[in-house]
Amino acid sequence: MRRDVQNLSRFYLVVVVLLFLAMLSRLAYLQLFSWNKYFAESERNRVRDVILDSPRGLVLDRHGEVLVDNSPMYSVSVVPYEFLKSDTTVTLLASILNGVPADMKQKIKREKISNFTPVRLKRQIGFRALSGLEELRRELPGVFYNVDSRRIYPSGVKAPHLFGYMGEITQQELAGLTENTYQSGDLIGKSGIELTYEKYLRGRKGVKYVEVDVLGREIRDLADLPGRLPDAGKNTYMTIDANIQRFLEKRMADLRGAAVVLDPRNGDVLAILSKPDYDPEIFSNPLTPEIWNSLINNDGGPLYSRSTQSLFPPGSTYKLVLAAAGLETGLLDIHEKITCTGSYRLGRRPFACWKKGGHGEVTLLTAIQGSCNVYFYKKSLDIGLANWSKFSRLFGFGEKTGIDLPNESPGLVPDKAYFDMKYGVRGWTRGLLLNLAVGQGDLLTTPLQMACFTMAIGNEGTAFRPRLVSRIEDAKTGRIVSLDKKTVQIDGVSAQSYQLMKEGMHMVVNAVGGTGRAARVDGADVCGKTGTAQNPHGDSHAWFIGFAPKDNPEIALCIFVENGGGGGAVAAPIAGGVLRLYFSEKKMPVTAPK
């Protein structure tokens, strides 16, 4: 019996010793081998990373005037692990932010990366909400606010299609990024310059560390831990002239249309706009469903850029393409006289000239000057569809210009294959060519393409890819990166042909009877071409293209007014205003605003 008791005592002793050794080994493992892991977890509970958003880079015009700036705002973020412990906390924060608790939980669930990574719940909170957060911060564990920024437009230039807008990054965008520099809730450029130059404007975030208590409330900054200050985004210097841009925005405020102004010496875009548009600060503030619906349901299409995306027949401005095709193929004699009686009959169908009484006898130059339809009707039959299509593409129509804006439209240049596909091999007639010769029918262009075409004529075959940004500057280091211009040489048109086209365009603006007299500027030697494109759905569209001076031009432009009527009466006066402003500015010294 005593032996059994001794054996049982030894057994329990062994068990106790083994348990003690197991506990000792576990303690040694935790203290010696897993110390780093558990210390890091305890530090994570004690230390919070506070992300410091970087100021976005400024956008300035060619003279240094600030077009897009930043203004401070407050946003609210939460740490999911601490915030979601209590439904009372969620309900309290929802009441401060005028939100719905269930929606807040859903947003956290959707955007949460980890339990300890903050999720931004709301941007641009008001002073009342900010005061509530400060007053009740002890009852809101895991809740804190940051100082962010929003875009403002101090210059008075309201060009939303040019600047674009920003929005919170989507999960699809996050998944498509190769660099891990964005987090859910971050703002990213969605359109315009904000999108194209996102990598320069964005900057780099900073971080600081703060100590929090067991409830997740901030106690103090931990200055001994090495944080990182944010690096501001780089400043973007645009080619835009703010004065010309403001003039056009005011002049075309009540119109539907577009305008593009270029420097033909390098392709710099001096002004570009689309009307109607909207105030770009709409997207800098919280966007309500009512505001969004008012934009997308607006009959004027304010979200749609008419300068780079609209596709319209260019009317008589396109007669210059047929002229170039005829001159280069030898199928057009500049001395040949054609009689215009007010219409031209092909088979049984009459094709009218805009001038009912007719122009009488015209040559190439006087046909350009007076924009005679009959002359170009007749010559289109001699020149043919193949040559017309060839020279249209030679001048860049039917393809994108390559401007540094997203979603540019390429336009449409019909040819035999296109008509065969649309109407059948024997389903179309030469009457379609007559329409194309005067810029009507299936031909579609953008105002930007027409401005580039004008630049090419003015430079006699040398064009440039249009660009909106000339240089990028790092405000911290002063380092400047200049963006090179890209030359586009148009081969296949002789200097003599260009000289003839330029002479005809000079007569349009300066000769008695020219259709573009309203664009005339004393001392500027303006060349231009008007266009009135018929519209089966309403009033005609008004066009004007032009450049100045005649030799070595410094400015080229295209003015388009949708449903505006006659190009000479509506578009040409706007162009004249731009040209007068440009040449008056040249006489005054330019000083960059501070």
DSSP string, 420-476: HHHH-TTS--THHHHHHHTT-TT-BB-HHHHHHHHHHHHTTSEEE--BSEEEEE-TT
Lowest mean pLDDT among 87-91, 101-105, 287-291, 413-417: 287-291
Tell me if 235 sits within 8 A of 64, measured CB to CB: no
Measured between alpha carbons, how far is 541 from 456 in angstroms, rounded to an integer?
23
pLDDT for residue 135:
85
Per-residue tokens: 164? 């674009």
pLDDT for residue 594:
45
Q: Which residue has the higher pLDDT, 588 or 139?
A: 139
Give buried/exposed letters for 385-401 (b at 16+ CB in 10 A, else e). bebbbbbbebbbbbebb
Q: Which residue has the higher pLDDT, 230 or 364?
A: 364
Measured between alpha carbons, how far is 488 from 474 in angstroms, rounded to an integer?
30
Lowest mean pLDDT among 62-76, 233-247, 283-297: 283-297
Give the pLDDT mean for 125-148: 84
Closest CA to 256 of 304, 212, 215: 304
Lowest mean pLDDT among 36-45, 66-75, 353-362, 461-470: 36-45
Q: pLDDT digits over 446-462, tens only?
A: 999 999 999 999 999 99
Give the pLDDT mean for 52-72: 92
Give the pLDDT mean for 441-450: 97
Residue 196 φ/ψ, nearest 5 degrees: -60, -40
Per-residue tokens: 570? 């509506």
- CATH topology classification for 251-586: Beta-lactamase (3.40.710)
- Residue 412 DSSP class: B
pLDDT for residue 328:
97
What is the percent of the chain with per-residue pLDDT over 70, rounded to a whole number?
A: 93
Tell me if 530 sits within 8 A of 571, measured CB to CB: yes
Give the pLDDT mean for 551-577: 96
Tell me if 256 sits within 8 A of 312, measured CB to CB: no
- Residue 42 DSSP class: H
Lowest mean pLDDT among 132-141, 228-237, 495-504: 132-141
Measured between alpha carbons, how far is 440 from 434 in angstroms, rounded to an integer?
9
Give the pLDDT mean for 562-583: 95
Closest CA to 311 of 388, 421, 398, 252: 398
> Rounded to the nearest 10 degrees, what angle do helices 101-111 and 87-97 cross at?
110
- Residue 57 DSSP class: P
Residue 487's SS3 state is: strand
Confidence check: pLDDT of 397 > 50? yes
Other C-beta atoms closer than 10 Å to the C-beta of 280 total: 22
Other C-beta atoms closer than 10 Å to the C-beta of 416 total: 13
pLDDT tier for residue 347 given thresholds of 50, 70 and 90: confident
Confidence check: pLDDT of 178 > 80? no
Tell me, what amino acid is at 133?
L
Continuous segment of H or E residues that includes residue 584: helix 572-586
Q: Which residue has the higher pLDDT, 308 or 78?
A: 308
Strand partners, 51: 207
Closest CA to 47 of 224, 300, 298, 311: 224
- CATH architecture label of 48-206: Alpha-Beta Complex (3.90)
Residue 492's SS3 state is: coil
Lowest mean pLDDT among 3-17, 249-263, 270-284: 3-17
Residue 68's SS3 state is: strand
pLDDT for residue 30:
63
Other C-beta atoms closer than 10 Å to the C-beta of 151 total: 21
Give the pLDDT mean for 269-290: 88
Q: Can you list the pairs that 340-343 forms with residues at least 24 positions away whose Cβ atoms lie under 8 Å?
A: 340/372, 340/373, 340/374, 340/375, 341/374, 342/374, 343/374
Helices assigned H by DSSP within 182-241: 192-196, 198-201
> In residues, how long is the chain?
594
Which single residue is written with the structure tokens 């006066």? Answer: 573
Task: Look over the chain and give the mean of its residue pLDDT values, rounded to a whole number.
Answer: 89
pLDDT tier for residue 170 given thresholds of 50, 70 and 90: confident
Closest CA to 449 of 470, 469, 466, 468: 466
Other C-beta atoms closer than 10 Å to the C-beta of 132 total: 18
From the DSSP assignment, how many helices (H) and strands (E) are in the chain? 21, 23
Measured between alpha carbons, how far is 570 from 548 in angstroms, rounded to an integer?
19
Other C-beta atoms closer than 10 Å to the C-beta of 245 total: 26
Measured between alpha carbons, how far is 156 from 249 in angstroms, rounded to an integer?
10
- Residue 312 DSSP class: B
CA atoms within 13 A on the CB side of 489: 4
* C-alpha dihedral, 180 to 184 to 186 to 188, nearest 10°: 70
Residue 553's SS3 state is: coil
- Residue 404 DSSP class: S
Tell me if 258 sits within 8 A of 564, measured CB to CB: no
Confidence check: pLDDT of 474 > 60? yes
Domain ranges of the chain: 48-206, 251-586
